[in-house]
Amino acid sequence: MVWAATMEHIYTTIEAHPNGFKTIEAANKARFGTANTYRRIRHKNDLLHLTDKNFLLLCEDVGVFNKNARKLLEEKLDTRNRCGHPTGYVVGREETVVLIESLINNIISGAMMSWH
């Protein structure tokens, strides 16, 4: 759920930014425009058609956050995927707390976000 809240926070940040969707779409077209899976981004719900990793790349491309924030988000996404899919991975309390605190303290709080 914290991952979903983090993604919603980033989506809302883009939505609130002047020309946020146009800026993301320009990066989307430049990076993925020739891919078979390319879909134009005009509205918040269009962001759901991107994989999380591709979305994070686009956010870095346009300056929503920097490379360090993208790396942190990708690390937490990998942990989320290990826990959210039938991999046999068992997460402990401490790892869960670190994931939650890291996303809240760095992304949801805006500390590592360039677009406010």
For the chain, the domains span 2-108
- The encoded tokens of residue 14 equal 């883009």
pLDDT digits (tens, 9 = 90+) for 40-96: 999 999 999 999 999 999 999 999 999 999 999 999 999 999 988 888 888 899 999
Contact 76, 83 (CB under 8 A): no
The whole-model pTM stands at 0.93
